Structure 1
Amino acid sequence: MSEGKRTYYIGVGDGLITQDPECSPWNFKIEATDDEITQLREYFDNNYANEQENFYRAHVPYLQYHYDRENDAYDKTLLKVYGMIHRLGDETAKKHIESMGILKN
């Protein structure tokens, strides 16, 4: 483990960031500094706000998903989340994200 980094367990679906692998189900194990975790938390917070907007916008039947700015923002932030987890994650996390085929080289 690099100096200044600690082990965290990440749950992408619910925005979980914890150091306790037993507290809740998680998807990825990463090694991150406090600043990196702060950035990841901001990404999750941004997507939570976008999800709230998307909930209200979902009740507009004529608006298609791919024409909705809030959905675009959510998707872009989610790619940032996966990119960060790929960069900081263990080999299992890296391989899983690579298998998803969502990140550009």
Structure 2
Amino acid sequence: MEKEKFYVSLAHLTCTTNRDITPSAFMIEVEPHKARVFQKLFNQIHRLEDSNALRAHIPYLQYHLDGLNHEIDNRVKKVYALIHEFGDDRTKQFVEQLPYFRRN
């Protein structure tokens, strides 16, 4: 399958071929069926954030002790790993300087 350009925005939780729909932070080249993984992760983040909105009203539960926040963080890390895998050299360098990125 042929690769296409996709524009990914973590701020807007989007992955699209149309650069003008939403501001994007990253351009990747990937087969369309692989790009769907981004949308699946973004949908999971949306659902977790909706659940988190209810939890936010519990004042005694701190962020670092909340499992839902860890689930969101894990998905964001997965998105960055995919951006690293399919991005250009400049994108890879950016992701590699993030504090939670470790190359094995």
Per-residue deviation, residues 23-47 of structure 1 (Å, max 9, x unmatched) = 3210000011122111111111111
More displaced 10-residue stretch of structure 1: 26-35 or 15-24: 15-24
* Structure 1 gap segments, 5+ residues each: none
Which one of the candidate residues 40, 43, 54 is aligned to 1:42? 40
User: 2:29 corresponds to which residue?
Assistant: 31
Per-residue deviation, residues 46-95 of structure 1 (Å, max 9, x unmatched) = 11111111111111001011111110100011100000000001222111
Partners of 2:62 and 2:69 in 1: how far apart? 10
Indicate if the aligned counterparts of 2:12 and 2:22 stay in contact, CA closer than 8 A.
Answer: no
Partners of 1:24 and 1:40 in 2: how far apart? 15
Partners of 2:85 and 2:25 in 1: how far apart? 15
Q: Secondary structure at the match of 1:93?
A: helix
Aligned length in residues: 103
* Structure 2 gap segments, 5+ residues each: none
* Superposition CA RMSD, Å: 1.2
Tell me the percent identity. Answer: 30
Normalising to structure 1: TM-score of the pair?
0.90
Normalising to structure 2: TM-score of the pair?
0.91
Question: 4+ runs of 1 displaced by more than 4 Å?
Answer: none
- For 2:47, give the aligned amino acid: A
Indicate if the aligned counterparts of 2:5 and 2:29 stay in contact, CA closer than 8 A.
Answer: yes
More displaced 10-residue stretch of structure 1: 16-25 or 83-92: 16-25
